[in-house]
Amino acid sequence: MKKTKRTKLVKLNLGCGVDKKLGYINCDIDPKLQPDKIIDLRKKLPFAKESVQEVVLAILKKFFWQPDLLMLYVYGDTSKNGEWGAHKYGYTPKLWRETIQHLGLSPRNELKIDTNYLFTATKQNKSSSGQPIICDSLFQYLLTPWHYLRKKQVIWHVNTEYSNAIGVLLLRPLSRLTTKIVVSNAKAASFVKNILKYSHLRMDTL
C-alpha cells in the first residue's frame, strides 16, 4: 500500500508484554496480556507501508544473538529460520552500533537503565549515495562488499538459481549488504527467499 497524505503515522511497541507505553500501539501475541493489538511477529506486520514512525523492541531484540537474524526480523520474514525462543543475547552499546549499521539506521541516543540499555536509532537518509549499483551476475554479486564500503546502494537482479552451496556459503552473507533484490521468475524468488533467507519486504519482482 502506498503512503498517502492521509496515512497516519503510528508508533509500535512490539512484544510489549506487560510494559505498555502511552502513545504507542502495544502489540503482543498473548491475548491474556490485553495488548492493543494481538500480532504474531513471525508474520508480516499488518500496517501500511511507510505508516510507522517509530518501533520499540525493548524485549524482542534480546532474542537475536546474530546481526543477520535481527536484520531479517526488522525487515520481515523470520518465520522459517528456526531461531525463535532463544533468549540469550545481550547487546552492548558498541555491538548495537555495529549491528544497526547493517540495518540502515543511525544511532541517536543510548540510555543505561539499571542493568539494561535503551537504544534509539533513526533510518538513514540514503539520498546522498547517488545512483544504485545494479548487479546481475555472480561476478558482480562478488563485488558487493566493495560497493558497500563505498556507501553505495546495491541492487541485485536475480534471474536464475544457483547451487545450495554457493547460495548458503557465498551469496547469503553478501546479500545482507544489498539494498534490494529484484527477481524475474518464480524459481529465482524461491532461491532468494528459501536459500538466501532474504526478507520478502526487500524483494521485488520484475
Q: What per-residue confidence (pLDDT) applies to 41?
A: 75
Nearest CA among 55, 32, 29, 57 for reference residue 43: 29
Beta pairing partners, 180: 155
User: 162 and 76, same structural domain?
Assistant: no
User: 110 and 152, same structural domain?
Assistant: no
User: 59 and 20, same structural domain?
Assistant: yes
User: 190 and 114, same structural domain?
Assistant: no
Total count of domains within the chain: 2
Positive or negative, the CA dihedral 150, 132, 145, 194 is positive
Question: What digits encode the pLDDT tens for the residues 1-33?
Answer: 444 455 678 899 888 888 889 999 999 988 999
pLDDT band at 159 (very low <50, low <70, confident <90, very high): very high
DSSP 8-state symbol, 14: E
Mean local confidence (pLDDT), 101-115: 73
DSSP element (H, E) containing 93:
helix 93-101
User: 136 and 194, same structural domain?
Assistant: yes
User: 116 and 65, same structural domain?
Assistant: yes
3-class secondary structure per residue, 104-171: CEEEEEEEEECCEEEEEEEECCHHHHCCCEEECCHHHHHCHHHHHHCCCCEEEEECCCCCHHHHHHHH
Residue range(s) defining the domain that contains residue 69: 10-123
Is 5 part of a structural domain of the chain? Answer: no
For the whole model, what pTM was predicted?
0.44
